[in-house]
Chains A and B, each alone.
Chain A
Amino acid sequence: MFSPKTKVLVVDDMSTMRKIVAKILKDLGFTDITEAADGQIAWDHLTKSPTPYGLVISDWNMPNCSGMELLKKVRTDEKLKKTPFILVTAEAEHSQVAAAIQAGVDQYVVKPFSKDALLAKLQSVSKKYAA
C-alpha cells in the first residue's frame, strides 16, 4: 500500500467530491493531500511543486482541462510520466474505460463508490508500482 506520507493530488471541479475523496484518504492515514478544482490547476501543482506528487486522483469531466487531458499531459511529460494516476468519474461506459486505459490510466473508479472500492483501487495501483 502507498505510504501515508505519499503526496496526493485530488482533482475535481466539485468541492463536495474533493471532500469525499480527501476524507477517505485521511481516514486511510494519508496526511499530504492537495486539492485542485480542474486539470489546469492540477497541472500547475504537478509542474511547480518542489517535491513530486506520488499519486493523482482525478475526475474526468471538468471545465478548462479535463481529467483525460491531464492524464495525457502527465503521461507525455518526461518528469511526470510515471506518476500513479487514478480516474474517479461518472463515465462508466466501456468505450470510455477503454479510452482511459489507452491513455495510460492506472485504475478507474466509477462514481458512486464506497471507501472500500477506492481502497481496493489504491492497493492495486500501489502493488503495480511496487512490482
Chain B
Amino acid sequence: MKLDTEFINPFLAATLQVLKIQASVSAEATKIYLKKPGEKLLGDISGVIGIVSTSFNGSVIISFPRQTFLNVMSGMLGETYTDLTQDILDGAGEITNMIFGQAKVSLNEKGYGVQMALPSVIFGKDHSLLSATQGPIIVVPFSSTAGNFFVEISLSK
C-alpha cells in the first residue's frame, strides 16, 4: 500500500469540498512534504480518524491553528466565535468525519475496502500525537480564506 496521489487526492478534494459547502471557506493545497520523526502537529486543534481497511491501517488528521479554527466554526455555524468553547471543539471531529466520509467513497470505488470510523478531537498548544502506524506521514498544508491549516495522512502495510 502506497501513499501515492491515487490515495491522497480523494482526501484533498474532500477537504476543499467540505470546507466550501459546510463553512463557505475556499481553500487550496500548497506544497506537500514528508513529516520528520518526532515533529509535532502544526495546529492547536486537531480532528483525528483512524483508517481501517481489509489490507492496511492508517490515520487522517486535520489540524487547525486556533484562529483558523474559530474562523471555520464561524462559517459553519453562522455566528462569530472568538473563544475555543467546549461546544465547538468537536467541530474539528465533524470536519474530519465529513472529509473521511467523502474520501472513503472515492477510495472504495477503487477497491480499497475502507471502513467507517468515529473521529476524535485533541487540542492544546504544541500538542502531539503518537502515530499508531509505522509508515511515512504526508503533510498537506492548506491556505484558505479562514487561514492556514494542515492535513496529515499516514499509512502502514
Is residue A61 contacting chain B, with contact meaning CB distance below 8 A?
A: yes
Is residue A1 contacting chain B, with contact meaning CB distance below 8 A?
A: no
Is residue B17 contacting chain A, with contact meaning CB distance below 8 A?
A: yes
Is residue A4 contacting chain B, with contact meaning CB distance below 8 A?
A: no
Is residue B150 contacting chain A, with contact meaning CB distance below 8 A?
A: no
9 example contacts (A-B, Cβ-Cβ < 8 A) are as follows A14-B90, A14-B91, A14-B93, A20-B76, A20-B77, A90-B97, A90-B100, A110-B101, A111-B97
Is residue B116 contacting chain A, with contact meaning CB distance below 8 A?
A: yes
A62 and chain B: residue at smallest CB distance: B118
Contact A19 to B22, CB < 8 A, known contacts A93-B105, A111-B101: no
A19 and chain B: residue at smallest CB distance: B77
Q: Is the CB of A14 within 8 A of B94?
A: yes
A89 and chain B: residue at smallest CB distance: B101
Give the number of chain A interface residues (Cβ < 8 Å): 20
**Which residues of chain B have a CB within 8 Å of any CB of chain A?**
17-18, 21-22, 73, 76-78, 87-88, 90-91, 93-94, 97-98, 100-102, 104-105, 108, 116, 118
Q: Which of B87, B90, B100, B104 contacts A93 (CB 8 A)?
A: B104
Is residue A103 contacting chain B, with contact meaning CB distance below 8 A?
A: no
Contact with B along A7-40 (1 / 0, CB 8 A): 0000001111101100100000000000000000
Shortest Cβ distance from A9 into chain B, in angstroms? Answer: 19
Report the separation of the CA atoms of residues A93 and B108 in the bound assembly, to the nearest whole angstrom. 9
Contacts of B90 in A (CB 8 A): 14-16
Q: Is the CB of A90 within 8 A of B91?
A: no
